[in-house]
Structures are given as structure tokens and as C-alpha cells.
Amino acid sequence: MFKTQYTKIGWAKIKVSKISLGTWGLGGSTTNNLSYGFYSKKRAKKTILEANKNGINFFDTSLTYGNAEKIVGETIKKIRQNIVIASKLGVARDYSRIPFDQKSADKQVFRILKSIKSDYVDILQLYNPKVNSEDCTKYINYLKKLKKKGVIREYGMTLGSPDEILNLDKNNMTSVIQCNFNLLDLRILNPKILKIIKKNNISILARTILNFGIFTENFLIKKDQIFKKRDHRNGLAKQQLNLWREALLKIKKICNEDIENTAIKFVNSYKFVSSLIIGIQNKSEFKKNLKILNQKALKKNQIKNILLVNKKNYFNKNLKPKNLLGN
């Protein structure tokens, strides 16, 4: 048997499962949302309930995730008090940023509350802001007011690049930040960034742990991987996929286990990571991923050798679409 692990995040100390269910894929591919192709509403609801049944109480969603936000709201309305929902502010359906305006912000919040069928949002994250901008400061002040009113329990940011953490100051500081971190994307390990995280007690929600399902055994087995037209990974350059495969095979030799096991254990090895956002789509994946967190952690020499693999830059911005970088 395995136990679901929990932690507390943000200044509000909200109790969340160590694994968060990322709902991008559950929203299905829509006009403005290319995720992983068709995913039925019935199946999405079943996935959400299965997640909660396995102890996952933390769900990350957004207007940009197709119909996911509404599906989450419909599914958890009877167990709302046991669920932690994180959504996004300042973003349109087409992923463009929405400049701050009081009326616009109020409309966005009203829409989110209506979608999730609740009178509060647990964590409201400002979407990919330019952290040192005046617009960001206005949004943060707005979020502070929402927290005082009880409309949200905590506020945070979701960043296109962890480098934006370097621009945090007293005017835009937050206690919850969502950003990319995985076996081959180590940008957050910049000592200056880690110092800011530690000093300000920032809870990091790590995403792209499995790099959109690419850091898996299934990917390593299929050398000529072909993604469907409505799958956002369809636009990935073959050269980039080959680079990732090369790196993953090296890492697999280091740890001698399924690559998804190593991917999850690696990110979970870092104490600054509060929760791992993973897109899980069936019962077996839930149990497998929760079980991984209960297995022996990676050894220090394994982590060291994984970092050495990254001496060669396998994370190449020029070879993959901007949306995969979180921008």
C-alpha cells in the first residue's frame, strides 16, 4: 500500500496533495486549445473523481484549458469543501495577456467563480506576467484585496520562465509560483533564484514534470513518434525529440528504472517544490504516480549524474513551440 503525501502551500498554509492534477488535457482540444486531442466530458469527470478517490485534492485549471474549468466545477460541487482549485487570472482563451483594468478583472473573477460553481477560488494565479511591470503590480494589489474579502484564499503567479523570479520585489511578491521544472529543464536551479525562493518562503508548483508525456517509456519505445493533428505536440521538431530521447536514454542508464519514475523522483528530490502538477488520465496512472512518491528517493550520486547529463544543452528553445516553454 502507499500513502498520498500532503504539504501546505502559500502564506495561507493551504493543505494540498503532493501531486496536483493538471487539467489541460481533460478540457479536450477546442478552437483555442490544442491539448492532446479529443477527451470526452464523461471521461474527464471520471478522471477527476478517480483522482480525488486516490487522495489527490489539488486541481490546477484555467480558461485556456478548453472546457476543463467548467468540468472541474461540475464534478466537484458536492465535495467542494475538500477540494483545492487553482485557476488563472489575466489571460484570454487564446493565451494572450489581459492588461489590468478593474472592470475587466472583476469580470474575469466572476466568470471563474461561475465556471467552478463556487463563491471562492483557493489559489488564483496571475498568468505569465512581466513581473517587474506596473501592470503586474496592479494585478497583485487587486489580488490582495480579493484575499482580504475572502474571494480567494491565496494568490500566486504562473511564470513562462523561472528567470522572472529574479524580478520579484516587495511590490509584486507572492507566496505561490508555478513554473517549469524537469529532468532537462533546470532553469529554476539558478542559485540566485533558489535564494529568493528560500528567503521569501515561496511555494513552487512544478509543471512539465513528464514534459507533456514525452518523458515516458512509451516515448522511448516509439522511435518514430507521430502525434495526431489536434495534439499540441504535433509541431515539435524531430531534431528536438531526438535530443530528448538521447538524454533520456543516458539518464535511464543512471537510474535503471522507468524514465517516468526517475522524472517524478528527480523533481520531488528538491525541497523547494511543494506540489508536482501532472496530467493524469486514467486509474493506473494515478496509482503508479502516487506509488512513485512512496518509493526510495534518488541517491545523491544519481541526481549529480543527471545534472552532468545536462552539461549538454538538451533544452533547446529554438526547436520547440513557445507554448511548450510556457510563454
pLDDT for position 91: 94
**Looking at per-residue confidence, does 13 or 26 come out higher?**
13
pLDDT for position 177: 98
Task: Give the span between the Cα atoms of 277 and 120, in whole angstroms.
Answer: 21
pLDDT for position 237: 73
**Model confidence pLDDT, tens digit, residues 232-249:** 666 777 788 889 999 999
CATH number for the domain running over 6-325: 3.20.20.100
Residue 110 grid coordinates: 466572476
Q: Would you place residue 159 in the very low, low, confident or very high pLDDT band (cuts 50, 70, 90)?
A: very high
Angle of helix 300-309 relative to helix 238-255, nearest 10 degrees, comes to 160
Q: Would you place residue 322 in the very low, low, confident or very high pLDDT band (cuts 50, 70, 90)?
A: very low
Q: Which of 144, 80, 150, 152 is nearest to 112 (CA)?
A: 152
Residue 28 has pLDDT above 90, yes or no: no
Contact 42, 187 (CB under 8 A): no
SS3 content of the chain, % helix, strand, coil (to 5): 45, 20, 40
Mean predicted confidence (pLDDT) in 31-50: 75
Task: Give the span between the Cα atoms of 200 and 169, in whole angstroms.
Answer: 10
- Classify burial at 259, counting beta carbons within 10 Å of its beta carbon; exposed 0-12, middle 13-18, buried 19 or more: buried
- pTM of structure: 0.91
Mean pLDDT check: name the lowest of 18-27, 91-100, 134-143, 174-183: 18-27
pLDDT for position 212: 82
pLDDT for position 323: 44
Task: Give the span between the Cα atoms of 86 and 79, in whole angstroms.
Answer: 16
Task: Give the span between the Cα atoms of 254 and 37, in whole angstroms.
Answer: 34
Residue 149 has pLDDT above 80, yes or no: yes
Mean predicted confidence (pLDDT) in 151-180: 96
Q: Where are the alpha helices (H) located in the chain, listed in sequence order?
A: 41-53, 68-76, 102-116, 134-149, 191-199, 217-221, 238-255, 259-268, 283-293, 300-309, 322-325
Q: Which of 260, 110, 117, 116 is nearest to 182 (CA)?
A: 260
Q: Which of 153, 149, 192 is nearest to 176 (CA)?
A: 153
Q: Would you list the DSSP string of 196-221?
A: HHHHTTPEEEEE-TTTTTTSSHHHHH
Task: Give the span between the Cα atoms of 309 and 124, in whole angstroms.
Answer: 36
DSSP-based three-state secondary structure for 241: helix
pLDDT for position 230: 65
pLDDT for position 325: 40
Contact 90, 138 (CB under 8 A): no
Spell out a b/e string for 171-195, using b for 16 or more CB atoms within 10 Å of the CB, else e. Answer: ebebbbbbbbbbbbbbebeeeebbe
